[in-house]
């Protein structure tokens, strides 16, 4: 197992998840209209979950003797704050996460069962998030 590549990938995951905390918190502040309350709650729950994912990645980094990054992943401000636009950005964020977790899986598969199971679990979780967001973007009856 290439420990340096694993640590780089885990730090990329940490940075992406921290960006998810900021992004989802920002989105929750920008929701207006009659459906505001449940959508704000959903975005804030997503932010909390991203923080948990970041902490988990950080724990693996330190377990491997690495140093967790203090960086936050890319935060693109599109100034598009309608709910569909925010959800479309969330789709792209989830896809980046899936890519990183799959990369981690590739690096650790058959080499570290604990990291392999973590990566598989996170791929599943992120794919489920992606499915949910894509369902939210579908129009009723569409």
Q: Where are the domains of the chain?
A: 3-63+79-137
Confidence category of residue 142, pLDDT binned at 50, 70, 90: low
**What mean pLDDT is predicted for residues 112-119?**
98
Across the range 51-59, mean pLDDT stands at 98
CA distance 94 to 114: 23
Is the CB of residue 60 less than 8 Å from the CB of residue 115? yes
For residue 141, pLDDT over 90 is answered with no
The CATH code for residues 3-63+79-137 is 1.20.1260.10
Mean pLDDT of 110-120: 97
- Residue listed under structure tokens 């991203």: 50
Taking the C-alpha atoms of residue 42 and residue 118, their distance in angstroms, rounded to an integer, is: 24
Q: How far from chain centre, in Å, is Cα 79?
A: 21
Q: What is the largest CA-CA distance in the chain?
A: 52
Task: Report residue 54 as tokens.
Answer: 């970041």
Place of tokens 């997503």: 46
């Amino acid at each position: 197992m290439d420990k340096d590549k694993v640590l780089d990938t885990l730090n990329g995951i940490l940075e992406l998840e921290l960006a998810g905390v900021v992004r989802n918190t920002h989105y929750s502040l920008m929701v207006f209209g009659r459906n505001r309350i449940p959508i704000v709650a959903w975005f804030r729950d997503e932010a909390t979950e991203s923080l948990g994912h970041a902490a988990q990645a950080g724990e693996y980094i330190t377990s491997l003797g690495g140093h967790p990054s203090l960086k936050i992943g890319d935060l693109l401000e599109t100034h598009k704050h309608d709910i569909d636009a925010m959800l479309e950005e969330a789709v792209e964020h989830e896809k980046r996460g899936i890519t990183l977790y799959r990369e981690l899986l590739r690096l650790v598969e058959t080499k570290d069962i604990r990291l392999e199971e973590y990566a598989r679990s996170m791929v599943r979780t992120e794919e489920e998030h992606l499915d949910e967001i894509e369902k939210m973007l579908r129009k009723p009856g569409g």
